[in-house]
Structure formats: structure tokens, C-alpha cells
Amino acid sequence: MAQLISKNLFNLPLLGVVSEEIGELEAKMMAEMTEKEEEEFTAMMVAMEGDDDNAFLESMRSMTDSATKSMMCHSVFTHAAENTVVTEITVPTTHDGNYDVHVFVHTPKSLEGKSGRAAYVYAHGGGAIASCAVDSKPWMNHYAVSWDVVCFNVEYRLAPETKCPNNAKDFYETIKYIHTNASSLGVDPNKICIAGDSGGGYICLSAMVLLAQRDETALVKLAIPGIPMVTDYCFSDPANMTQEESENAPTMRRIWKLIAADLETQRSDPLLFPGKASDELLAKFPPTIIRESEFDMYITEATRLATRLRRVGRLLELVVVPGAKHGSCLMPDLGCFAQYIDIMKTIVNEYLEK
């Protein structure tokens, strides 16, 4: 494949410290906790540190659910919902039984009835073990309106109920379905972007591996894995890690064990750990923009993957949001949220629409 040429649009100066407003918001949230909420939070922390995988999973799902729902009613999302039409499609699959993947389609009212629209196919976060597409609806509405795209919000199956690689195959099959049915869906098959955040970033990357393995990269114009889970770095020596990485490594080790069908036999499988894809496979990846936050818990593994992709000519940009932590750019009360929306608008205009 031809060597990609970056437009170098996002050489953002890093802060070296966590943004002050993020620290203030975290302190405010802790101070405003009720006694009951404090007890529930403590119970979740105990469960997450215990040996019971079921209790750990329940706590992860409860915590993710609470964090998402606390932001869903923000006025910025209410406004977006008023200007978006949400419909549903189902994608039939057979790779893990007969299963229909549900996909919410978020269309800006300004684009209703038009053809040739850009498509943004998204995998939600939650470590691939928690959260759901339903809870991502407010963000998808806002993205659709802000970026003038049709968002396809994919309800891929979660681990541990569905193991690697079948969760990523749900997303992969959705990509193929959208490309095949682009005309009836009113989108341009040459303007399909795939993306995801955190665990959804992993799902996106794993789907990119599948596309590369099957020589189907041309189905996608652009891939944007954001703050992505990339590899088994969390199993390495914590002394080599950043503070955020070492603090979250125990949790990440448990998450990967829940995702894997058999962790030890899949250690070298790029469908489980996309960061282990060979250079030959990476050279077949779609044009890629990796989005990160300066103090994200995946910053090292994501940066390493970006370096490898740049070397094989498949990286367009590595965007690191200054001063931000994991998930900060999804919080509408923070300045980095608006910064992220602007960054993505530029990406859509410069790399997807052109």
C-alpha cells in the first residue's frame, strides 16, 4: 500500500500535569457523594479487588453504568437529541451462533433524506465487558450533529459472555454490512470511518486486524481507535509504568482474562492483542488516527502502536489531548470535551470528507 502522508494538524503542546479543572471536578464529585453513594462506591472497590470474578464483573458494570448515566441528561446532549433522528438496523451474523447485531443509526435532521453522507461506525467503551450502545446514544447524537455524519452505534456482544474474537467480529460484520448496503442507508461507501473508545478502541483495532487479514481494508477510508486497549502491557513490570498505568494494571489484567477465550494460548493473537500484529499486517491497516489523552492509562501501548503504524506508512495522526485523563474528553463539563469535538470535526473535514 502507498505510504500515507500526514497533514500534521495536531501537534498540541503537552502540559506535563493533569488539567486543573479535571482535578477540581474529581474533588467536587467525591465531596458531593451521599453517604449511601460512598458505601456503594466502597463496596464496588472491595469487589473489584477481590478474587470473585462475578463480583468484579458486576462492580465494573455498575460503576460504568453510574458514570455514564450521571452525564446523560446534560444540556448539550438534550440539544443534540432535538436535532437528531435515531433509527435501528440489525445485522445478521453466524460466527457465534445465529445472532442479529443491533445498531442505532443517528442521523442529523439536516442530513435526513440525503445520500452520499459520511458514516461514523462506533464501538462504545467499557473495557469490552461493560456498558452498551443504548447508553452511548447521547454522545452519538452530539457527534452526528457536530460533525455532520451519520453515526452507527454498534451493540456488539460483551465478554465474558462472548469471548474474543467473536465480540470484534460483531463489529467487523457491521462494517461489512454498512459498506454493502451503503446506498439504501444513504451513506457513501467511500466515506466510512470506524472508531471506538477504550474497550471500544480495542474492538475497533481488532476489527482492523480482521480487515487486514482478509484483504478488506478498502472497505474503510479511516479508522480512529481512541484511548484504546492495545496489548498486554499491563502484565509487565509496574516499575516501568506511569502512575495511571500502574494503578490500573491489576484491573486491566482481570479484564483481559475475561475477554480471552484462553489467555495463554491467545497471547500472540493480534485479534486479542492488536498491538502484537506483525509489521506485514499493520501495513494493511486502514489509514489510522490514534487519539489519546496525555495521562491515559493506555498511553504507552497506544503510542508504541502509533510509532509502528507510522513506520509502515499507515498512521495519519497521533492526537494527544493535553492534560486529559482516561475518559476526560467524554465529560461535557470539561474544556477538553469541546476541544475533542473540535479536533474530530477537523479530522472529519480533512481526512474523511476530502
Question: How does pLDDT run across 81-113, given as a tens digit for each residue?
Answer: 999 999 999 999 999 999 999 999 999 999 999
Q: What local confidence, expressed as pLDDT, does residue 105 receive?
A: 98
Which of 224, 208, 221, 244 shows the shortest CA–CA distance to 343?
Answer: 224
pTM value is: 0.96
Q: What would the pLDDT profile of 2-19 be if each residue is shown by its tens digit?
A: 789 899 999 899 999 999
pLDDT band at residue 28 under the 50/70/90 scheme: confident
CB 110, CB 134: distance < 8 Å? no
Residue 82: exposed, middle, or buried by beta-carbon count in 10 A (0-12, 13-18, 19+)? exposed
How far apart are alpha carbons 22 and 18 in whole angstroms? 7
Distance from the first to the final alpha carbon of the chain: 19
- Residue 290, pLDDT > 80, answer yes
Cα–Cα distance, 174 to 195 (Å, whole number) = 12
Does the pLDDT of residue 161 top 70, yes or no?
yes
Q: Please state the rounded mean pLDDT for residues 227-241.
A: 98
User: Among residues 163, 185, 164, which one has the least CA distance to residue 174?
Assistant: 185
Better pLDDT: 269 or 33: 269
Distance CA 326, CA 251 (A): 14
Distance of CA 126 to the CA centre of its chain: 9
What average pLDDT does this structure show over 114-135?
A: 97
**Does residue 317 carry a pLDDT above 80?**
yes
Does residue 35 have a pLDDT over 80?
no
Over residues 50-82, the pLDDT tens digits come to 788 998 999 899 989 988 988 999 999 999 999
- Residue with grid cell 461514523, as numbered in its chain: 120
Region 307-328: what's the mean pLDDT?
Answer: 98
Q: Which helix (H) or strand (E) holds 100?
A: strand 99-108
Does 40 have pLDDT greater than 80?
A: no
Question: Where does residue 5 rank: exposed (0-12), middle (13-18), buried (19+ CB within 10 A)?
Answer: exposed
